[in-house]
Amino acid sequence: MAQVRLEHITKVFGDGAEAATAVDDVSLEIPDHEFMILLGPSGCGKSTLLRMVAGLEDPTEGDVFIDDVRVNDVEPKLRDVAMVFQSYALYPHKTVARNIEFPLKVRGIGKAERAAEAQRAAEVLGLGPYLGRKPGQLSGGQRQRVALARAIVRRPAVFLMDEPLSNLDAKLRGDTRAELVDLHRRLDSTFLYVTHDQVEAMTMGTRVAVINQGRLEQVGAPQEVYDRPASVFVAQFIGTPPMNIIPGGLLGDGSVRLGVRPEHLRLDTGDGATGAGGGRVQATVRQVEHLGHEVLVLAHGNGDDGLALTARLPPEPGLPGAGDVVEFAFADRHVHRFDAASGERLP
């Protein structure tokens, strides 16, 4: 239904000595029907980017296009977008039905049609029984659904969501993730979704745009971003526990940094069974965390370079204990190489 294109977007807040660049020359194309995730730590500029698509902020430089129409100077209501806020932004004095109807009322749609559309949107999200209640009488999850219903009621071309799940508890968040993916499939429209939670990014997005300090670090399918992170930042931001970064100097090449995911570190028992062609690092175990299905071994390097390592191991006998000196080994095909200075991925 709609495609969103950002061209060289820069946003600077304040001026003079207090100027702060929130978004720095970001170009991004979100094709029709895509579920695009804007992922980054708090303060990275992802919400600002979303707000510029919504029309709540004006870009300092660059252009926003929706369906090839430049919308920089177009009011939000004419952009055909709907936004879901982190706080849900429900009107506490209106009933659920009135909340959902509000975007239609603003557009001058008649009472009967409004009620029917609100009813339909409420049904989609299982809110039928709550139409007469006020938001204050609903649980967090129900409120979140009302906010979603208010967004879908108008059938907008683009959905903008600003961390809509961050106020839910872990269980509900998991359920709602799946529902949002389902909703995206049913509505068949374009989603632009901001989050700092890499699990949400991995599980929901058709593509992920990783943003750091206002700059776009990498855009790609979730698995692709996980498998081939474009920078040390992306490598460490996606995946829990984060990727281990080992100074190349340890292995004889100071111009690179090596990245190895915790699941790719193996304990070298000294019998040569770990195979050749990779690398080895000696470390002292700091802590062992038993998670049931796996064990996390946290260790620090034996040099004075502050190297910290985490290994994900199967819960088998023969695991080291705190204080043990161990040797971790990893295969060459699991090694990511980054430029030591810029942090960018080396081919």
Kindly tell me which of 135 and 247 has the beta carbon lying closer to another protein. Answer: 135
Query: Phi first, then psi: what are they for 19, rounded to 5°?
Result: -60, 135
> Which residue ranges make up the site for another protein (CB under 8 A)?
54-56, 76-77, 81-83, 85-87, 89, 91-93, 102-103, 106-107, 134-136, 150, 154, 160
Kindly tell me which of 118 and 297 has the beta carbon lying closer to another protein. Answer: 118
Closest approach, Cβ 107 to another protein, in A, equals 6
Kindly tell me which of 92 and 270 has the beta carbon lying closer to another protein. Answer: 92
Kindly tell me which of 91 and 303 has the beta carbon lying closer to another protein. Answer: 91
Gap between the Cα atoms of 225 and 292, Å rounded: 28
Strand partners, 7: 63
Kindly tell me which of 100 and 208 has the beta carbon lying closer to another protein. Answer: 100
Residue among 155, 173, 153 nearest 163 (CA):
173
Q: Is the peptide bond before 222 cis (omega within 30 degrees of 0)?
A: no
Closest approach, Cβ 105 to another protein, in A, equals 9
Q: What is the DSSP string of 36-105?
A: EEEE--TTSSHHHHHHHHHTSS--SEEEEEETTEE-TTS-GGGTTEEEE-TT----TTS-HHHHHHHHHH
Distances (CA, A) of 56 to 26, 82, 158, 166: 18, 12, 15, 21
Closest approach, Cβ 226 to another protein, in A, equals 33
Kindly tell me which of 51 and 196 has the beta carbon lying closer to another protein. Answer: 51
Gap between the Cα atoms of 324 and 342, Å rounded: 34
Strands (E), 90-206: 158-162, 190-195
**C-alpha Rg value of the chain to the nearest Å:** 24
Closest approach, Cβ 81 to another protein, in A, equals 7
